[in-house]
Amino acid sequence: MTDAQTLITEAQELGLFKPQAAFEVHCSNCHGRLDGRGDCPTCGLIGRGPAELERRAQTDPAGVSKLISAAIQKRKNYRPAGREKSADR
């Protein structure tokens, strides 16, 4: 399993960390509905700061690694709607 700190660094490079306010219900990146923790299941945005996940990694490194790995995969697989155009245009 990949080190949690390495995954946090990669997630920061991808711009996955964007702490959300308690009243926000839609993702600022893809406008999808956020889950209860402020994370976006569509594009992988993490609604908490990296410092919070670093603290959590001290007690649950496997859980944090799984969360960040899933978010990174979602971001890499995410394609905004309407972006695909035919080569004819």
User: pLDDT tens, 38-84?
Assistant: 999 999 999 999 999 999 999 999 999 999 999 999 999 998 877 66
Q: What span, in angstroms and rounded, lies between the C-alpha atoms of 34 and 32?
A: 6
In this prediction the pTM is: 0.80
Q: What single-letter DSSP state applies at residue 73?
A: H
Q: What span, in angstroms and rounded, lies between the C-alpha atoms of 87 and 78?
A: 21
